[in-house]
Amino acid sequence: MPPTPDPVEDDLDTLPPPPPVFHAEQALLGALLIEPHRAAGLTGISFEAFSTAAHPALFAAIRSLPAPEPAEHAKTTTWLNRVLTAAGEQTRGLTTAYLHHLIQCCPEPRHARAYARIIEAEHSRRLLRDAAHRLIQTTLDTSLPHRVATTLAEAGTLTTVVDDIATRFPTRSGPLSRTPATTPVTTHDEEAGEEERLLLATATARPGSAERMRWLIPGDFLHPLHAGLWQCLTTLTRRGTPIDPVTVLWEAQHHGLVATGTAEPRELLGLLSEPDGCDPEYWGEQILQRSLLTTAHRTGRRIEMLTDDPATTTYQLVVGSRRALADLSAVRVRWHHATTPAPTNNPARNRYSAPPRAGPPPTTAPPAVRITR
């Protein structure tokens, strides 16, 4: 009969080793237990920065109790017992042996600030990862009544987190952030493809609409062929060339959309000759909205991948996150232009353009002029 495995030993064997920040937490707490007066110099760290339940309880207890006299603290364990009692009210399982273990884990109490800085940096990484994850989930939540507005609000929260990290960890010279290797995802969205086809056909039928839709760029399109045709439309608009399905087809040939075999000429003519009754700007806003949500999702993923790489420094996290957010900001500006109503320009009245208005006729005769000799 095979031996029965011990479930306790099996569970311990499957646990991953603690990360480096865990040892920094132990070293900091050990430093404060050895020299409690050093807690007064730690102003940028809070108990939320710790990764386990026992460590924030101990840190809060150390900060709440007045530091003992160094000479008295070296002789007795009175203050350590008070710390253990106060921390035990917040979490269970703390023992005197663990406090002594923390003291032994501290290489040098004078390095308490350096240990705290490590803990702050890792806490910033977790905050950034959580904010990026919330942004990703928001872009995927189709039940939101105001999906774009909520997504942009989450992006603003993520930007605030990045700015806060940059403030607490000033920029220094060093290697720039590494760009995460992302795998391009080919999306087959029939609804998006139909919206793009309707926009191209209606914009071809109403050439003036492309001039008003400068906020829409080829990169917003999901289908490469549709992106190329939109570029053809905007090119013809800038030139002032007459626009119809035939002229767009001729421009498409110059852009390589026909020569490369991407589409047959008859197929392109059919695509451009079936306009819809809706305003082209309506379809343009639908395409831009999808592009904004896609960019926000990609931004969140890039930042999340940066935080998942333990080799990424705090400085690299800030630089990489700001680069990713810059792409989203550019789409956000174009979305603002697309959805903001154009202001009504009332011509200003020129006070000097019209002759002065004549006043009412006099009601009394002018005074007589007396002539004296």
Contact 70, 77 (CB under 8 A): no
Query: Domain spans of the chain?
Result: 18-107, 120-171+191-340
| Cα-based distances in Å from 292 to 68, 224, 256, 320 | 57, 17, 28, 19
pLDDT of residue 353: 46
User: Distance between CA atoms of 119 and 125, rounded to whole angstroms?
Assistant: 10
Query: What is the band of 262 on the pLDDT scale with cuts at 50, 70, 90?
Result: low
Q: How many CB atoms lie within 10 A of CB 20?
A: 11
* pLDDT tens profile 240-258: 999 999 999 999 998 888 8
pLDDT of residue 47: 86
Thinking of the domain 120-171+191-340, which architecture would CATH place it in?
Orthogonal Bundle (1.10)
Query: What is the band of 371 on the pLDDT scale with cuts at 50, 70, 90?
Result: very low
Contact 280, 206 (CB under 8 A): yes
Q: How many CB atoms lie within 10 A of CB 110?
A: 11
| Cα Rg of the chain, angstroms | 35
Question: Which pTM does this prediction carry?
Answer: 0.80
